[in-house]
Amino acid sequence: MAVDDRLPRSTTATRARGGAVRAGTWLLGAAAAIIALMWVLGLLIVDGSVPEVIRRLDSRLSQWAPDHRTPALDQFSHLGSMLADTLVALLVAAVAVLVLRLALGRWREPVVVVVAIVGELLIFLVLTAIVHRARPGIAPLDQAPPTSSFPSGHTGAAVALYGGLAVICLRTVRPRWLAVSLAVVGFAIPVVVAASRVYRGMHFPTDVLAGALASGLWLTAVLLVLLTPPSLPR
C-alpha cells in the first residue's frame, strides 16, 4: 500500500519514522530471543547434555573428513568456504544492494540485505563471546580464528546473505524460471558452505546446524518485518 500523496509531508515523515521505530523494536526483540535460544542450546552442547546419539553422530561426522579428503575435495571445500568469508560476503552484499536499488528503484530490498547480514554478524559475535566450544580435534585445513566453534559464522552468513537474496529473487525477478533458478542457487550455497566447514575441520556438524538455525530465524524475522509492511517507505 503506497502512502497517500495527499498527506502533508510532515505526516508522511512521522509515519515513516514510527514505522522504522516499530520495525527496529521488533527486530531487537527477535535478536534477543534468538541469542537466548542459541545460548541455551550452546550450553547444552558444551556441557554434553544433549542426547547421546547426537553427540556420537557429531563426533563421527567430524572425524569422517580426515579419512576421506582428496585434493579435489580440498579445493572444492576451499571455494565453498570462501563463498561466506567476511570480505567475500561483504562484497557480494554491496553489489547486491547496488543492483537491487538500480533494478527496483526502491530501498526496501537493499535494506533487507544490509539488515540481514549485519544482524547475523552481531548475533554471531555475541554467541561466540558467551558460548565457548573448542573446535574439532582433527587436522584443520584452515587457520582457526580465535572464536568459539559454536556457532558457524560462515554458515550463518551464507544463510542470511544468499538465502535472503534467494527470497528476494523469488519475489521480484521475471521470468519465473529465472527467479526459481537463482533461488535454487541461493538456497544451495549455505549447504555447500556448511559441508565445507565440517570437511575442513573447522566446525562440528552441530555448529553449522546452529549457525543455520540462528541465521534462518533472524532472516525470517527480517523478511517478515521489513519486506512487506506498508508503514515503511518503498
Longest dimension (CA), the chain: 69
Predicted model pTM:
0.89
How confident is residue 231, by pLDDT bands cut at 50, 70 and 90? very low
Distance CA 212, CA 220 (A): 12
pLDDT tens digit sequence for 55-97: 999 999 998 888 889 999 999 999 999 999 999 999 999 999 9
Other CB atoms closer than 10 Å to residue 104's CB: what's the count?
A: 14
- The helix/strand/coil state of 31 is helix
> Which of 40-54, 89-103, 218-232 has the weakest average pLDDT?
218-232
pLDDT tens digit sequence for 9-33: 656 556 667 778 888 899 999 999 9
Q: Which residues of 35-44 are buried (b: 16+ CB within 10 A; e: fewer)?
A: beebeebbee
Is 131 within 8 Å of 150 (Cβ atoms)? yes
